[in-house]
Protein backbone atom coordinates (compact mmCIF):
# COMPACT_ATOMS: atom_id res chain seq x y z
CA UNK A 1 0.00 0.00 0.00
CA UNK A 2 2.81 2.33 0.83
CA UNK A 3 4.91 1.22 -2.10
CA UNK A 4 4.76 4.44 -4.08
CA UNK A 5 5.09 6.53 -0.94
CA UNK A 6 8.35 4.72 -0.20
CA UNK A 7 9.38 5.00 -3.84
CA UNK A 8 8.87 8.77 -3.91
CA UNK A 9 10.78 9.15 -0.67
CA UNK A 10 13.85 7.78 -2.47
CA UNK A 11 13.49 10.61 -5.01
CA UNK A 12 13.58 13.51 -2.54
CA UNK A 13 16.10 16.04 -3.80
CA UNK A 14 15.58 15.14 -7.47
CA UNK A 15 14.09 17.43 -10.08
CA UNK A 16 10.67 16.20 -11.16
CA UNK A 17 7.82 17.50 -13.27
CA UNK A 18 4.33 17.16 -11.88
CA UNK A 19 1.53 17.21 -14.44
CA UNK A 20 -1.90 18.03 -13.01
CA UNK A 21 -5.18 16.67 -14.28
CA UNK A 22 -5.89 19.98 -16.02
CA UNK A 23 -2.67 19.71 -18.07
CA UNK A 24 -0.76 22.31 -16.03
CA UNK A 25 2.80 21.04 -15.51
CA UNK A 26 5.20 22.22 -12.84
CA UNK A 27 8.91 21.40 -12.58
CA UNK A 28 10.68 21.57 -9.26
CA UNK A 29 12.88 19.78 -6.78
CA UNK A 30 11.02 17.17 -4.76
CA UNK A 31 11.11 18.26 -1.14
CA UNK A 32 8.69 15.83 0.42
CA UNK A 33 5.85 13.44 -0.15
CA UNK A 34 3.26 11.99 2.20
CA UNK A 35 1.01 8.97 2.43
CA UNK A 36 -1.60 10.60 0.17
CA UNK A 37 1.15 11.27 -2.40
CA UNK A 38 0.74 15.00 -1.81
CA UNK A 39 3.91 16.56 -3.15
CA UNK A 40 5.98 19.51 -2.06
CA UNK A 41 8.26 21.11 -4.62
CA UNK A 42 10.94 23.82 -4.32
CA UNK A 43 12.25 26.23 -6.96
CA UNK A 44 9.31 25.65 -9.18
CA UNK A 45 9.01 26.63 -12.79
CA UNK A 46 5.71 26.33 -14.58
CA UNK A 47 6.12 24.55 -17.91
CA UNK A 48 4.91 26.97 -20.60
CA UNK A 49 5.36 30.05 -18.41
CA UNK A 50 3.98 32.41 -20.98
CA UNK A 51 0.61 30.77 -20.85
CA UNK A 52 0.61 30.62 -17.05
CA UNK A 53 2.08 33.81 -15.57
CA UNK A 54 -0.40 33.50 -12.67
CA UNK A 55 2.23 31.82 -10.52
CA UNK A 56 5.23 34.06 -11.21
CA UNK A 57 5.55 34.93 -7.55
CA UNK A 58 5.39 31.34 -6.30
CA UNK A 59 8.74 29.61 -5.81
CA UNK A 60 7.69 26.58 -3.85
CA UNK A 61 4.41 24.79 -3.46
CA UNK A 62 2.37 21.97 -2.01
CA UNK A 63 0.39 19.96 -4.56
CA UNK A 64 -2.54 17.83 -3.48
CA UNK A 65 -2.08 14.21 -4.56
CA UNK A 66 -5.65 13.94 -5.82
CA UNK A 67 -5.01 16.44 -8.64
CA UNK A 68 -1.87 14.83 -10.00
CA UNK A 69 -2.03 12.99 -13.31
CA UNK A 70 1.69 12.23 -13.82
CA UNK A 71 4.99 12.68 -12.04
CA UNK A 72 7.81 12.79 -14.59
CA UNK A 73 11.09 11.47 -13.18
CA UNK A 74 14.72 11.52 -14.26
CA UNK A 75 15.29 8.05 -15.72
CA UNK A 76 18.69 7.48 -14.09
CA UNK A 77 17.11 7.97 -10.66
CA UNK A 78 14.79 5.03 -10.99
CA UNK A 79 15.89 1.47 -10.48
CA UNK A 80 13.14 -0.03 -12.63
CA UNK A 81 14.14 -3.61 -11.82
CA UNK A 82 13.85 -2.93 -8.11
CA UNK A 83 10.54 -1.18 -8.58
CA UNK A 84 9.15 -4.00 -10.69
CA UNK A 85 10.22 -6.47 -8.08
CA UNK A 86 8.62 -4.50 -5.27
CA UNK A 87 5.41 -4.14 -7.25
CA UNK A 88 5.31 -7.85 -7.92
CA UNK A 89 5.77 -8.61 -4.25
CA UNK A 90 3.14 -6.06 -3.30
CA UNK A 91 0.70 -7.72 -5.66
CA UNK A 92 1.25 -11.12 -4.13
CA UNK A 93 0.89 -9.88 -0.59
CA UNK A 94 -0.86 -6.53 -0.40
CA UNK A 95 0.19 -4.84 2.87
CA UNK A 96 -3.21 -3.37 3.65
CA UNK A 97 -6.73 -3.16 2.33
CA UNK A 98 -8.19 -0.20 0.41
CA UNK A 99 -7.83 3.18 2.09
CA UNK A 100 -11.00 5.00 3.18
CA UNK B 1 1.18 15.85 5.66
CA UNK B 2 1.17 18.07 8.69
CA UNK B 3 4.82 18.85 8.13
CA UNK B 4 4.30 19.76 4.52
CA UNK B 5 2.00 22.65 5.33
CA UNK B 6 3.48 23.57 8.66
CA UNK B 7 6.25 25.60 7.05
CA UNK B 8 3.66 27.76 5.27
CA UNK B 9 1.65 28.79 8.34
CA UNK B 10 1.57 32.55 8.90
CA UNK B 11 3.04 33.06 5.44
CA UNK B 12 1.36 34.69 2.48
CA UNK B 13 0.18 31.93 0.18
CA UNK B 14 -1.29 31.46 -3.26
CA UNK B 15 -4.10 28.92 -3.35
CA UNK B 16 -5.27 27.32 -6.57
CA UNK B 17 -8.67 25.66 -6.32
CA UNK B 18 -10.00 22.81 -8.43
CA UNK B 19 -12.67 25.06 -9.90
CA UNK B 20 -9.92 27.20 -11.39
CA UNK B 21 -10.08 30.08 -8.93
CA UNK B 22 -6.91 31.62 -7.52
CA UNK B 23 -6.80 33.12 -4.05
CA UNK B 24 -4.05 34.78 -2.06
CA UNK B 25 -4.07 35.22 1.68
CA UNK B 26 -2.30 34.41 4.89
CA UNK B 27 -2.33 30.77 5.93
CA UNK B 28 -3.65 30.61 9.47
CA UNK B 29 -4.07 26.88 9.87
CA UNK B 30 -4.70 23.50 8.27
CA UNK B 31 -5.53 19.93 9.16
CA UNK B 32 -4.80 16.38 7.95
CA UNK B 33 -7.26 16.70 5.09
CA UNK B 34 -5.58 19.90 3.91
CA UNK B 35 -8.62 21.91 4.97
CA UNK B 36 -7.23 25.39 5.32
CA UNK B 37 -7.98 28.71 6.99
CA UNK B 38 -6.93 31.79 5.11
CA UNK B 39 -7.08 35.35 6.37
CA UNK B 40 -6.87 38.60 4.41
CA UNK B 41 -8.01 36.59 1.45
CA UNK B 42 -8.18 38.15 -2.00
CA UNK B 43 -9.44 36.45 -5.09
CA UNK B 44 -7.36 37.15 -8.19
CA UNK B 45 -9.53 37.19 -11.27
CA UNK B 46 -7.71 36.83 -14.58
CA UNK B 47 -9.15 37.59 -17.97
CA UNK B 48 -7.73 37.63 -21.47
CA UNK B 49 -9.55 40.88 -22.19
CA UNK B 50 -8.97 42.83 -18.99
CA UNK B 51 -6.12 43.26 -16.53
CA UNK B 52 -6.15 41.15 -13.38
CA UNK B 53 -8.74 42.14 -10.77
CA UNK B 54 -8.43 41.60 -7.04
CA UNK B 55 -11.46 41.12 -4.82
CA UNK B 56 -11.01 41.08 -1.03
CA UNK B 57 -13.09 38.41 0.66
CA UNK B 58 -11.88 38.26 4.24
CA UNK B 59 -11.44 35.06 6.24
CA UNK B 60 -12.04 31.80 4.42
CA UNK B 61 -12.19 28.17 5.49
CA UNK B 62 -11.45 26.08 2.42
CA UNK B 63 -12.20 22.37 2.22
CA UNK B 64 -9.12 20.35 1.32
CA UNK B 65 -10.93 18.48 -1.44
CA UNK B 66 -11.22 21.66 -3.46
CA UNK B 67 -7.58 22.65 -3.12
CA UNK B 68 -5.26 21.77 -5.99
CA UNK B 69 -2.16 23.66 -4.97
CA UNK B 70 -0.88 25.91 -2.21
CA UNK B 71 2.18 27.98 -3.04
CA UNK B 72 4.32 30.20 -0.89
CA UNK B 73 3.91 33.71 -2.25
CA UNK B 74 7.20 35.51 -2.62
CA UNK B 75 6.11 39.09 -1.88
CA UNK B 76 9.10 40.66 -3.65
CA UNK B 77 8.38 38.81 -6.85
CA UNK B 78 4.71 39.52 -6.42
CA UNK B 79 5.37 43.27 -6.16
CA UNK B 80 7.53 43.12 -9.28
CA UNK B 81 4.92 41.26 -11.29
CA UNK B 82 3.01 43.44 -13.69
CA UNK B 83 -0.53 42.38 -12.86
CA UNK B 84 -2.01 45.60 -14.22
CA UNK B 85 -1.01 44.48 -17.69
CA UNK B 86 -1.51 40.79 -17.21
CA UNK B 87 -4.30 39.69 -19.55
CA UNK B 88 -4.42 35.91 -19.59
CA UNK B 89 -7.05 33.24 -19.47
CA UNK B 90 -7.88 32.12 -15.96
CA UNK B 91 -6.37 28.81 -14.90
CA UNK B 92 -8.34 25.77 -16.00
CA UNK B 93 -10.52 23.94 -13.52
CA UNK B 94 -9.48 20.41 -12.70
CA UNK B 95 -11.78 17.63 -13.79
CA UNK B 96 -11.38 15.07 -11.03
Which of helix, strand or coil describes residue B55? strand
> In this complex, do A32 and B65 lie within 8 Å of one another by their Cβ atoms?
no
Among chain A residues, CA nearest to B73? A58
In chain A, residues with a C-beta closer than 8 Å to the C-beta of B77 are 56-57, 59
What is the tens place of the pLDDT at every residue in B26-62?
999 999 999 999 999 999 999 999 999 999 999 999 9
* Alpha-carbon distance A28 to nearest alpha carbon in chain B (angstroms): 12
* Alpha-carbon distance A72 to nearest alpha carbon in chain B (angstroms): 18
pTM: 0.91
The partner residues of B48 in beta bridges, in order of sequence, read none
What is the tens place of the pLDDT at every residue in A50-83?
789 999 999 999 999 999 999 999 999 999 999 9
pLDDT, residue A51, reads 84
In chain A, helix, strand, coil percent, each to 5? 30, 35, 35
In chain A, residues with a C-beta closer than 8 Å to the C-beta of B92 are 22-24
Decide: B2 and B24 in contact? Cβ < 8 Å. Answer: no
* Alpha-carbon distance B73 to nearest alpha carbon in chain A (angstroms): 5
Among chain B residues, CA nearest to A65? B68
Decide: B27 and B13 in contact? Cβ < 8 Å. Answer: yes
Mark A12-23 as b/e (b = at least 16 C-beta within 10 Å): eeebbbbebbbe
Q: How far apart are the first and last CA of chain B?
A: 21
Decide: A5 and A34 in contact? Cβ < 8 Å. Answer: yes
Mean pLDDT rounded to a whole number for chain B: 94
Decide: A45 and A55 in contact? Cβ < 8 Å. Answer: no
In chain A, residues with a C-beta closer than 8 Å to the C-beta of B18 are 67
Q: Calculate the CA A89 to chain-centre distance.
A: 22
CA dist., res. A32 & res. A21, Å (int)? 20
Amino acid sequence: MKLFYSFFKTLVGQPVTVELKNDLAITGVLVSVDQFLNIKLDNIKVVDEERYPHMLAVKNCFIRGSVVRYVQLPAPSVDTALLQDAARRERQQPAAGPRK
Amino acid sequence: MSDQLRSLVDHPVFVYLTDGRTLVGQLMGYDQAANVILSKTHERIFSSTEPMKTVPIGVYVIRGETIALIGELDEELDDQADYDNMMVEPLDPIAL
